[in-house]
Structure 1
């Protein structure tokens, strides 16, 4: 039984809607001995008006009223947000009345009589209805607190991703400035490659900041943005190449997206630099497909001069080490199609 009523006092306030005034007085006396304070209403209109005043913890609604039934009033009660529990009282032995009342939103029903047992049953039904209502309120409050905590966490995480993306963007800008004043071509190339790797990671955090997802990134949007940036930064008269992407919509975890972004960035950069003769335009294609058993297959291919894996590494060889390490972190490895004219790198890994 509740310790306090809806208006804060010690009593539990019950609204009893019944056109039998004598039974109402009997109800007030009997339930009063059980700790309830009963407010009487002789018809539905008076009951709804009293309910609108507030301070009611539960309602006992009679079925037979003058010119109406409790089923006519019940929809107006349950339409009230967080309405008090309703115990439907009926003298009818027709079970369809009770079923209709429960379907319409009543918490319970009792068979009406003037015997002492009736008031005991009604008090028990009221206690149970009040307990269920208290449980619903507590559940809604807990859910609301969880939603608020989640919203705060998502807001903080978005701010963190924003700051990380900005910081990485600043680092990339500093490296670009350093490359612009470097004289040695090898140094310039190394700095530009480092800048692209940083951009690949920063792009993930920008996606996390601008989307409503917390731990996943829309892969096709991320790769499209990443490849557009790569093409814009590398395409010139000496390397007039285009990048084409085929990728269906797929959400991928943040750590896997970062790793995949670095791999794709390295492979596309290598193709841009080495696949085609100088000033000869070519296409670099990135294809991503996911199988029903959760395996993601990534192809990065061109139609250029081909790739001899046994030849000495061009440049510093750091890119090859990065590719091997990143593929290993995905529990996979990068293979090359020997039958493809040009170069086709293949990566297959589980998205689970």
Structure 2
């Protein structure tokens, strides 16, 4: 059908008024079909494409409100301009609430035809704009879905690649006897697992924009415990979490931060082959999260030079700053409790 043809269905129980409207609209470039009752009007709507329906209030059986009720349940039904001779404004209000896009008071004056033509024109234009908007929104949704599917595949591939790198590091770890080298490789493996865990969470989740931080930390702690056992550490690692969501880029910083704190606890809390408990605790309240790593070892309160090379401490400080938080040490009679409090979302 050519786009220039605008088809209108006029439903009115008055055949004379119907013919008058048909002729008047035809002179203005409309193609008009007539129906004198609700059933025949609905049949015509089912059979052909109409850009708009002009619907009279009083019909042989029921009212136009009944027709509106039927059309409201149909997908892709044409817009309806309601025509009423009733002097009561409540009828027009009821029609608009029932789904009509406009209404026109029905009179015998020429003004009625002008108002009807204008309302039909406006209804057609609004319907085209609405359809164009729906198409654009659908295209945006499809583009977003394709992008998210592609991103999930990228995260899958990155996680797999990091898992391969981790496996290589572990093979190398088994072949080395020097305790210093073994400890360095174990730390490297833990850092790789922290980043890989974020990508694994992303490609297995329906949401690629954020990570459930509680679930991520539970998986990370499990990986860290396995990695530390392979490096010869015997301390027990536990985790306590509360639910919370963070953007994906912040999840990486959190994972690296926790990995460094846990690794330091394994290395320095229980020296000379000792062992004990290490607890990772996450609490989320409102828009703020708080993570602590606690042990019952020899204790350190952040004063003085860090042990070892100091690389882990520098990484922890860097990750805390990237999260917009600050490190803190909690007073304890025995052991160390170190953590960071930070906003779940990136500060504006």
Structure 1 length-normalised TM: 0.91
- Specify which of 228, 234, 240 is matched with residue 234 of structure 2: 240
**Aligned-residue offset at 1:112:** 1.2
1:118 correspondence with 2:112: yes
1:191 correspondence with 2:163: no
Change over 3 Å in CA distance of 1:107–1:182 after alignment to 2: same
Which of structure 1's runs of 4+ aligned residues deviate more than 4 A?
277-281, 308-315
- Specify which of 276, 285, 295 is matched with residue 279 of structure 2: 285
Counterpart Cα distance in 1 of 2:326 and 2:297: 23
Report the 3-state secondary structure (helix = DSSP H, G, I; strand = E; otherwise coil) of the residue aligned with 2:50. coil
- Specify which of 90, 100, 108 is matched with residue 94 of structure 2: 100
Report the 3-state secondary structure (helix = DSSP H, G, I; strand = E; otherwise coil) of the residue aligned with 1:22. helix
- Specify which of 245, 254, 260 is matched with residue 248 of structure 2: 254
Structure 2 length-normalised TM: 0.92
Change over 3 Å in CA distance of 1:257–1:44 after alignment to 2: same
Contact 1:238/1:278 (8 A) holds in 2: no
**Aligned-residue offset at 1:141:** 1.0
Q: Deviations over 1:182-209 (max 9, x none)?
A: 2322112111110111110110111111
1:16 correspondence with 2:7: no
2:123 is matched with 129
Contact 1:186/1:315 (8 A) holds in 2: no
**Aligned-residue offset at 1:49:** 0.7
Counterpart Cα distance in 1 of 2:5 and 2:82: 21
**Aligned-residue offset at 1:108:** 1.1
1:189-338 alignment runs, 5 A limit: 189-235=183-229, 239-276=233-270, 280-292=274-286, 294-307=287-300, 313-338=306-331
Alignment RMSD: 2.1
Counterpart Cα distance in 1 of 2:197 and 2:333: 31
Change over 3 Å in CA distance of 1:328–1:66 after alignment to 2: closer
Q: Deviations over 1:223-262 (max 9, x none)?
A: 0000011112323796432222222111112222211211
Contact 1:238/1:279 (8 A) holds in 2: no
Gaps of 5+ in 2: none
- Higher mean alpha-carbon deviation, 74-83 vs 101-110, is at 74-83
Q: Deviations over 1:98-121 (max 9, x none)?
A: 111111111111111232211111
Counterpart Cα distance in 2 of 1:277 and 1:172: 26
Contact 1:300/1:344 (8 A) holds in 2: yes
Gaps of 5+ in 1: 1-6
Report the 3-state secondary structure (helix = DSSP H, G, I; strand = E; otherwise coil) of the residue aligned with 2:13. coil
**Aligned-residue offset at 1:320:** 2.4
1:3 is matched with none
**Aligned-residue offset at 1:304:** 1.4
Counterpart Cα distance in 2 of 1:132 and 1:32: 21
Report the 3-state secondary structure (helix = DSSP H, G, I; strand = E; otherwise coil) of the residue aligned with 2:257. helix
Report the 3-state secondary structure (helix = DSSP H, G, I; strand = E; otherwise coil) of the residue aligned with 1:335. strand
Report the 3-state secondary structure (helix = DSSP H, G, I; strand = E; otherwise coil) of the residue aligned with 1:13. strand
